[in-house]
Amino acid sequence: MSETLAPWAVRETDSRGRRLPEPAPRYRGEYHRDRDRIIHCTAFRRLVYKTQVFVNHEGDLYRTRLTHSLEVAQIARTVAGALGLNTYLTEAVCLAHDLGHTPFGHAGQDALNRCMADYGGFEHNLQSLRVVDELEEKYAEFAGLNLMFETREGILKHCSARNARRLGELGQRFLEGLQPGLEAQLANFADEIAYNNHDVDDGLRAGLLEIEELRDAQLFREQHDEVRRLWPELGGRRLVHEIVRRMIGRVVEDLVSASRASLEAARPASAEAVRHAGEPLIRFTPQVAEAHLALKRFLRERLYRHNRVIRMTTKAGRTVTQLFQAFMEEPRLLPQDHAAEASRKEAAQGMAGRARAVADYIAGMTDRFAIVEHGRLFDPRAHT
């Protein structure tokens, strides 16, 4: 397999390996095994009932964290192949990148972070790492999934200096100002490409955005006008989908050609050289970077701050906050195994330990479970 990799790709032979060494897999590569472990884990399945912008019960057609993660992986695999990168590692990072997300997307994460302010905070990115390192209960020999170093490093896309010091080898690059591998850099871009585009699609579907106003965003306008020119009669879903698929194609092509150019200029001799390159080598051209950012800004102003979305996210934030307060006040409200974990952690770390166990429990909830659990705790008519 390694003969198809470019010199700058991550190779398992150069890996820093797993925290607990394991025998090599028989029929797969190491990163292939990581990808499979992620797909088999519980947190991955829960992504199907977690949302980013729209709460899950709003409709069946919107993206969930699961379909989002699949779209990210699929976009990134194509680019990885074109650049000679390690596609299994790329895919593993993409599929795992959102495992630590709370219910209700960013509203849930912000609320939980506020609740955890005195106890070390809550960050979904760090939580994704906690899921694969500690929280998954899949194997007899170790907690978590015991993934390869480079997969774990890719999942941790940003990190405060304080947390970086706590994370040891994994946090090192944040302290030394080094770049992550190209596969991890790519996963980041694929994440942004996926959500920018599917949020356009979902926003139109939900009636929160109009085609005409989207023409304010250059990336949309260019493709829209071209599709309209080619098929003047086209309307409805096919018009929207044709525009969105072209928008994805446009930025993916730009990502491949701009990254190829920067790799050819920098010629990193190895994945290790990529870390010391001083700047990320996966990139858009400046024009597309700007247009992509403009679309992101457009979505922030018109979609994420839309009155209907705010009404939803406010409720969501309140739900998470009240769950947190209830469990903190009375940990015996937690299911038995989580209550036991809370008291173990409290014995070791005081209230911060209790809070972490509560945050882990809440972060693991799906949207619908959080809604039901909230009802059970706060509505006296609900079954306990």
- From the DSSP assignment, how many helices (H) and strands (E) are in the chain? 19, 0
CB of 308 to Mg ion, least distance (A): 22
CB of 97 to Mg ion, least distance (A): 6
Q: By CB under 5 A, which span of 20-28, 188-196, 236-244, 283-291 interacts with Mg ion?
A: 188-196
- Determine if 202 is a binding residue for Mg ion (CB under 5 A): no
CB of 93 to Mg ion, least distance (A): 11
d(CA 235, CA 224): 11
Three-point CA angle 354, 381, 370, nearest 5° = 40
Q: Identify which of residues 51 and 146 has a Cβ nearer to Mg ion in the complex.
A: 51
Contact 170, 149 (CB under 8 A): yes
CB of 189 to Mg ion, least distance (A): 11
Three-point CA angle 296, 88, 37, nearest 5° = 100
- Determine if 136 is a binding residue for Mg ion (CB under 5 A): no
Q: By CB under 5 A, which span of 4-12, 190-198, 249-257, 360-368 interacts with Mg ion?
A: 190-198
Contact 151, 87 (CB under 8 A): no
CB of 68 to Mg ion, least distance (A): 6
Rg (CA), the chain: 22
CB of 98 to Mg ion, least distance (A): 5
Q: Identify which of residues 191 and 254 has a Cβ nearer to Mg ion in the complex.
A: 191
CB of 119 to Mg ion, least distance (A): 25
Q: Identify which of residues 184 and 358 has a Cβ nearer to Mg ion in the complex.
A: 184
Measured over the CA atoms of residue 23, residue 27, residue 28 and residue 34, the dihedral's sign is negative
Three-point CA angle 250, 9, 182, nearest 5° = 50
User: How many residues at the interface with Mg ion, by CB under 5 A?
Assistant: 2
Q: Identify which of residues 73 and 281 has a Cβ nearer to Mg ion in the complex.
A: 73
Contact 285, 341 (CB under 8 A): no
Alpha-carbon separation of residue 16 from 13, 19, 20, 147, 160 (angstroms): 9, 9, 11, 11, 22
Q: Identify which of residues 8 and 104 has a Cβ nearer to Mg ion in the complex.
A: 104
Identity of the amino acid at 10: V
Contacts of 197 (CB under 8 A, 6+ apart): 244, 247, 248
Identity of the amino acid at 231: W
Q: Identify which of residues 100 and 364 has a Cβ nearer to Mg ion in the complex.
A: 100
CB of 297 to Mg ion, least distance (A): 18
Q: Identify which of residues 91 and 191 has a Cβ nearer to Mg ion in the complex.
A: 191
The string of DSSP codes covering 248-306 is HHHHHHHHHHHHHHHHHHH--SSHHHHHTSSS-S----HHHHHHHHHHHHHHIIIIITS
Identity of the amino acid at 74: Q
Three-point CA angle 193, 198, 199, nearest 5° = 105
Q: Which of residues 79-98 bind Mg ion (CB under 5 A)?
A: 98
- Determine if 191 is a binding residue for Mg ion (CB under 5 A): yes
Q: Which of residues 15-44 bind Mg ion (CB under 5 A)?
A: none
Q: By CB under 5 A, which span of 139-147, 187-195, 330-338, 361-369 interacts with Mg ion?
A: 187-195
Q: Which of residues 238-297 bind Mg ion (CB under 5 A)?
A: none
Residue whose entry in the numeric block shows the structure tokens 């800004």: 297
Q: Identify which of residues 191 and 242 has a Cβ nearer to Mg ion in the complex.
A: 191
Q: Identify which of residues 124 and 374 has a Cβ nearer to Mg ion in the complex.
A: 124
Residues found near Mg ion in the complex (CB under 5 A): 98, 191
